Chain A
Amino acid sequence: MKEAPRLTRGQLLVLLAPYLWIGAFLLAPLLLILKISLSQSVLARPPYRPLFELADGIAGLWSKAQTLTLDAYRTLFTDSLYLDAYISSLTIAAIATLVTLLVAYPFALAMARAPANWRPFLIGLAAAPFWTSFLIRVYAWIALLKDEGLINKALIALGMIDTPIEMFATRFAVIVGIVYSYLPFMLLPIYAALERQDPTLREASADLGASPFETFLRVTLPLSREGVIAGVLLVFIPAVGEFVIPDLLGGSDTLMIGRTLWNDFFANHDWPTASAAAVVLLALLIAPLVALERLRYDPKKDGS
């Protein structure tokens, strides 16, 4: 291991601004959340008991440290509302991720096997919705999924059903919303992995007598593993904490944690519990996050 080099004054000057910004507006606020989650809830503004004020001195600090409590976490694990919200978030995110994968894989494969001069156009067209408003794309589904919405109208007109299928404000609607909104995140890494593959590998497999399906199972699929893992993580992680989709498309039985947290913060003013819920949410996501970082930042490439 080499001794880490010291930075020159010029280099420090370059790093100063981003360092201060991240410290003040990201690291400090996250630590504050941890602190609030350990505070007692009070009816005041801010609605938690303040801690660690400079004016208190050491003695004050000690007496205040004794008011730290795990109450908020106790609420979290005894109140079935929170437990249900966590379980529901993880289940919905997992199902939606699986469906996204099943939709994205054939789509990515079809694009990766298109003629080379078509590919940039196709992938551009598939990624374009990412640049449009997320909120608007979720909103577009309301008109489609409602009881009197277009899908039900079309199915009734075609004579396939007599009464509208209840889709809006259900788990189904939330899953459709997640699949639709996050499809580009799954599509792009899988496409990249498939497009990179050497076509001669498939030819070799065919020459050795494998059927096209066997070639897919034993050559194409294993070689695209990295893209699949990246896509799964990129969809699953934000889907767990998702707020907009369950709020607009979901109903009372789709209480996801992002929504519960939002309500606690804005409607109930229970900051300690909301903060504790945020801390637990981060803890739940630590494993997939670390996996994603590992995948994205190969230490051989980055050196950090």
Chain B
Amino acid sequence: MSSSFRAFQGVILLAGFIFLYAPIVILAAMSFNASRLVSVWGGFSTQWYEALFDNEQLMQSAWISLLDATISSCLATILGLLAAVGLARFGAFRSRLLFFGAIHAPLVLPEVVLGLALLSCFVALGVGRGFTTLVIGHVTFTMCFTTVALLAAIRECDPTLEEAAMDLGAPPLNAFLLVALPQIAPALASAFLLAFTLALDDLVIASFATGPGATTLPMRIYSQVRLGVSPQINAISTLLLGMVAVAMGGGALLMRLAGRRRR
């Protein structure tokens, strides 16, 4: 390839990654700024982190968000697995098209519309809004993502392996659990993680679906952010970004180790 293309390639890659990462890096750097002002460096300080742990409201919301993301992504993974098995293995059953469309709808539905629909449904049913409705909202929202991820994985599985197990006398359920499920275990993990991340991060659906007493962390961050830039928000953002970075780095490392062992 020509050297001018190589130069172009280098410049583009550099510019692209600077665009993607500079805002995040600056945000993280500012969380260690002793000055309250964005554009003035007042020296290194961890005071915003200390203030963070004293902020009971914020800590409580973080707990609610974690709990909600854990429960809702477990449910979404289970429901997604059932839906994916149905779509991949049950042939062209009668209402398949409706089911297929409905399952995929939240992928593309504007979040405000889904939130609005859920809220009016809860109000019409006379259900008090709170933690339960929050979880319901997030399961509905994330289930489509888990279904898509698991559907792809189940299609990759060779059905003849399960057929062999059944020929050898295993009931269909056992054949699925013992033969197919271990094969899609990595997809189950990534589906769960995807649902977890989406639920943890969601602001719009949570704002519609939740009620008093179950304010999530993004809602808390959002209401502070509307008032302007605050170093405390930078601090909690940096912690969240750090957790994602550690999780991704760890995941990549594990995959690498697993790959090496297989060889």
Q: Do chains A and B interact in one complex?
A: yes
In the assembled complex, the CB of A166 is this many whole angstroms from the nearest CB of chain B, namely 16
Asked whether any CB of chain A lies closer than 8 Å to the CB of B257, the reply is: no
The CA of A106 and the CA of B82, in the complex, are separated in Å by 40
Inter-chain contact A21/B111, CB cutoff 8 Å: no
Inter-chain contact A15/B140, CB cutoff 8 Å: no
Inter-chain contact B116/A275, CB cutoff 8 Å: yes
Dominant SS among interface residues on chain B: helix
Inter-chain contact B201/A134, CB cutoff 8 Å: yes
Chain B residues closer than 8 Å to A18, beta-carbon distance = 79-80, 82-83, 86, 99, 103, 143, 147
Chain B residues closer than 8 Å to A144, beta-carbon distance = 23, 26
Chain B residues closer than 8 Å to A45, beta-carbon distance = 123
Inter-chain contact A241/B111, CB cutoff 8 Å: yes
Inter-chain contact B124/A26, CB cutoff 8 Å: no
Inter-chain contact A241/B110, CB cutoff 8 Å: yes
Asked whether any CB of chain A lies closer than 8 Å to the CB of B130, the reply is: no
The CA of A46 and the CA of B244, in the complex, are separated in Å by 40
Known contacts: A15-B82, A139-B233, A304-B96. The answer to whether A132 contacts B240 by CB under 8 A is yes
Inter-chain contact A281/B110, CB cutoff 8 Å: yes
Surface stretch bound by B, among A54-62, A70-78, A109-117, A219-227:
A109-117
The CA of A2 and the CA of B9, in the complex, are separated in Å by 53
**Residue of A with least CB distance to B76:** A21
In the assembled complex, the CB of A115 is this many whole angstroms from the nearest CB of chain B, namely 10
Residues 71-95 of B contacting A (Cβ, < 8 Å): 78-80, 82-83, 85-86, 90-94
Inter-chain contact B244/A131, CB cutoff 8 Å: yes
Question: Mask for A247-278, Cβ within 8 A of B = 1, else 0?
Answer: 11000000000100110010000010011001
Known contacts: A131-B197, A143-B26. The answer to whether A29 contacts B5 by CB under 8 A is no
**Residue of A with least CB distance to B173:** A10
**Residue of A with least CB distance to B101:** A293
In the assembled complex, the CB of A218 is this many whole angstroms from the nearest CB of chain B, namely 17
Inter-chain contact B20/A129, CB cutoff 8 Å: yes
**Residue of B with least CB distance to A248:** B225
Interface residues of B (CB under 8 A from A): 1-2, 5, 8-9, 12-13, 16-17, 19-21, 23-24, 26-27, 30, 37-39, 78-80, 82-83, 85-86, 90-94, 96-97, 99-106, 108-114, 116-121, 123-124, 136-137, 139-140, 143, 147, 172-173, 197, 200-201, 203-204, 208, 218, 221-222, 225-226, 228-229, 233, 237, 240-241, 244, 248, 252
